[in-house]
Homo-oligomer: A and B are copies of this chain.
Amino acid sequence: MTGAGTIDLNCDLGEGYGPWRMGEDDALLDIVTSANIACGFHAGDPAIMRRTVKSAAERAISIGAHVSYPDLQGFGRRHVERSVEELSADVLYQLGALDALAIAAGSRVAYVKPHGALYNEMAVDPDLARTVVTAVLSYRDDLPLLCMPGSATEEVARSTGLPFYSEGFADRAYDAQGRLVARRLPGAVLTDPAEVSSRAVRMAAGGTVRTTDGAELSLHIDTLCVHGDTPGSVELARAVRRSLEEAGLQMRSFING
């Protein structure tokens, strides 16, 4: 767990494929402390993974395996029917592939963050969460999993002894139960840098978030997720980092916290 006074910033990186690119990886590498790196199933071919891993390793940024359902065309945002055996094999395959590239770059995969539909479905489906947790445990039983606090993912990870870290979204509205408001609803995504930065500081330093009903909800957060794939998102991430530093927080990977 991060100590008081430190905070981690994580973001999705290496989400190109073949000739295509997504997001501003170079700018983000100067902002974040943890990199969720695509493993080839929703994005990221081996050459892109290799470059991204090297860039992260050179900057001492933590390398996270951003594992996904096999769905390149849908960018891992769609549900894909997988048996327990298939999903388990998919997770191990991606985890090992990225870890080998990390080892070759003098580093290791430091954590696992599920991507897209898998992330969202695990968060509410203990059986699905168990399949992923069990797969990770069977590879390296000290490899932390990253997801939302209060998710089925957290519950299952903690019950098995797999380290768990929780992430918050400073640019997303939370409802009274501490769940994210669905993207399609008005007000779900915040874009004002001042507001997002102020929420980030409150989450990182105070461990609270203001919910849509105006209450101040207690929320333990080890890392804040920032984005780089929409216009203005890099500037927003930069503003968030600046505000956190000005508030006296030390930027540091949750792994080393």
Say yes or no: B18 contacts A73, CB within 8 Å.
Answer: yes
The one of B20, B47, B98 in contact with A20, judged by C-beta atoms closer than 8 angstroms, is: B20
Does more than half of chain A's interface fall in helix, strand or loop, or is it mixed?
helix
Say yes or no: B86 contacts A47, CB within 8 Å.
Answer: yes
Whether a CB of chain B sits under 8 angstroms from the CB of A92 is: yes
Residues on B with C-beta less than 8 A from A135 are 104
Say yes or no: B86 contacts A95, CB within 8 Å.
Answer: no
The one of B22, B78, B98, B138 in contact with A104, judged by C-beta atoms closer than 8 angstroms, is: B138
Say yes or no: B92 contacts A139, CB within 8 Å.
Answer: no
Whether a CB of chain B sits under 8 angstroms from the CB of A161 is: no
Q: A93-B40, A98-B96, A103-B138 are in contact. Are A74 and B81 (CB under 8 A)?
A: yes
Q: A22-B20, A95-B100 are in contact. Are A81 and B81 (CB under 8 A)?
A: no
Whether a CB of chain B sits under 8 angstroms from the CB of A97 is: yes
Q: How many residues does chain A have at the interface if contact means C-beta atoms less than 8 Å apart?
A: 45
**Complex: A176 Cα to B114 Cα, angstroms:** 46
> Copy number in this complex?
4
B interface footprint on A92-111 (CB within 8 Å = 1, 0 otherwise): 11111111110110000000
Residues on B with C-beta less than 8 A from A96 are 96-101, 103
Whether a CB of chain B sits under 8 angstroms from the CB of A199 is: no
Residues on B with C-beta less than 8 A from A20 are 16-17, 20-22
Give A90 Cβ to nearest chain B Cβ, in Å.
Answer: 5
20 A-B residue pairs with CB within 8 Å? A17-B17, A17-B20, A18-B72, A19-B74, A19-B75, A20-B20, A46-B92, A47-B83, A47-B90, A49-B93, A50-B89, A78-B81, A88-B104, A93-B101, A96-B100, A96-B101, A96-B103, A99-B100, A103-B138, A104-B138
Q: Which A residues form the contact surface with B (CB < 8 A)?
A: 16-22, 40, 43, 45-47, 49-51, 70, 72-75, 78-81, 83, 85-86, 88-90, 92-101, 103-104, 135, 138-139
Those 9 A-B pairs whose CB atoms lie nearest each other, nearest first: A96-B100, A20-B20, A46-B89, A104-B138, A50-B89, A19-B75, A46-B93, A96-B96, A18-B73
